[in-house]
Structure formats: structure tokens, C-alpha cells
Copies of this chain bind each other. A is one copy, B any other.
């Protein structure tokens, strides 16, 4: 499969994994100024995007969408709750579940998201075909390496 003829450590420039890692952090950093202005972080923004779409979800469902685990989400959601972005309550029917829904502040930020998304899309400057190809490839990668 992979040529092992020459034994040498591969340089950083050949490492796709590094480009992915660097691009992810760079894009997150590009969102940061706009999100900081709204008083939220990037992972919190992603949570809001899911809630704007689904209104109300359990922590488990949220984690499946975002591919984040409880250990990450629980404190994140608590911070979001204390800043008035979301509400958390136990499901009465099955008290193992915590249901997360939008609170007032989380709802009010909804309109800002559209603008942020447009600005970012413009800043990335990819034409629609490139955009879609990249998205397709990234999803392919993610599915290939996921268990």
C-alpha cells in the first residue's frame, strides 16, 4: 500500500493531518471576533445551530449531532445555561435524560447567525463547486476514520 522503501520521518508539509488541524483552528479563529461580540464561543455556537434547527434535544442527541461526549457537553451546557442561552431540565417521563432547549438569549441570537455565516462564506472565498467538493471530502474522511 504505502511505500516504505525510504525510511525517513515525513516532513510537516506532507502531513494532511496537520493541514486539517491548522485549517480547523484557523477557521475557528476567523469566527471568534464575531462570536465574542455575541458573548459565545465556537462550540457554543454549534450547539445553538443545532437547537435553532431542532428546538429541543436530549444531551445524548446533541452529542450525536456534534460528535461530542457528555464530559464535554455537560459543563458547556451549564455555562450556556448560566448565561441565559439554553435551558436544561430532566425529562419527567424518563429522568435519565436531560432535555436542552433554547432560552431567551439563545433565541435572540438566531438572526445574527445568518449574517455571520454569510460573512464567513464570503471570507472563505470558495466557489460553490469547491465548497461542495471540500464538504464531501471532509465527510468522507470523517466517516472513514470513525468507528
Contact = CB atoms under 8 A, between A and B. Distances in A.
A15 B49 contact: yes
A84 to B, nearest CB: 18
Q: State which size class the interface on A falls in.
A: 35 or more
B27 A20 contact: yes
30 contacts: A2-B117, A2-B118, A2-B119, A4-B115, A10-B113, A10-B117, A12-B46, A12-B53, A15-B117, A16-B121, A16-B131, A17-B31, A19-B134, A20-B20, A20-B27, A20-B138, A21-B42, A22-B66, A23-B138, A24-B24, A26-B67, A26-B141, A26-B142, A26-B146, A29-B145, A124-B141, A124-B144, A126-B140, A126-B141, A134-B137
